[in-house]
Amino acid sequence: MQRHILNTFMREINLEMKQVFEVSFVCLGNICRSPLAQGVFESLVAREGLGDQISTSSAGVSGWHTGQLPDARMRETARQKGIQLNSRARQFKPADFNRFDLVLAMDQTNLSALEQMGGASDKKLRLFRSFDPMNNGDLDMPDPYYGGNQGFEYVYQIVARTCPKILEFIRPRLAPLK
């Protein structure tokens, strides 16, 4: 009898926990593009008062930078826009597909790596710039790592105009508030 009550309780907790829509932004090393997208999106979600309904994360398809802060140049670019990037790099794992409702790859190479991990359906796994209203058919987010500071600003501009469109996509998928 106690086991039945415990199982019922756990199912209710799981149903409540899924009231949160979880999104992950994924790039190569999780130190430039994806932490910026996470930071900008978290800021937007907070401004809209949706922090209790949307959870945001970022990861890399590689584990090269695991545990590191985002690139200093990206942190500075974000700071100049009022965005703090405090996440630590982590590697995306195949089990993450079970957790996230939306996984946004920064470019085709990242998308392919995610698909090879046993990626989710195309309803869950998408290219970040597929939401960019100015993508002009270019769905790859440029990697600013090896370029100059102007590359970080350019990536910020793409992220800033794309995140509101991602939120528009997510809003109708949010569970109604109780």
Please list the active-site residues. Answer: 27, 33, 143
Give the side-chain half-sphere CA count within 13 A for 162.
26
* CA–CA distance, 42 with 144 (Å, rounded to integer): 21
Q: What angle do CA 33, 35, 38 make, to 5 degrees?
A: 110
Bridge partners (DSSP) listed for residue 126: 104
Instruction: Supply φ then ψ for residue 107, to 5 degrees.
Output: -155, 175
Spatial contact of 30 and 80, defined as CB atoms under 8 Å apart = no
Instruction: State residue 117 phi and psi, 5-degree precision.
Output: -75, 0
- Residue 173: is it exposed, middle or buried by C-beta count within 10 angstroms (0-12/13-18/19+)? exposed
Q: Specify the DSSP class assigned to residue 126.
A: E
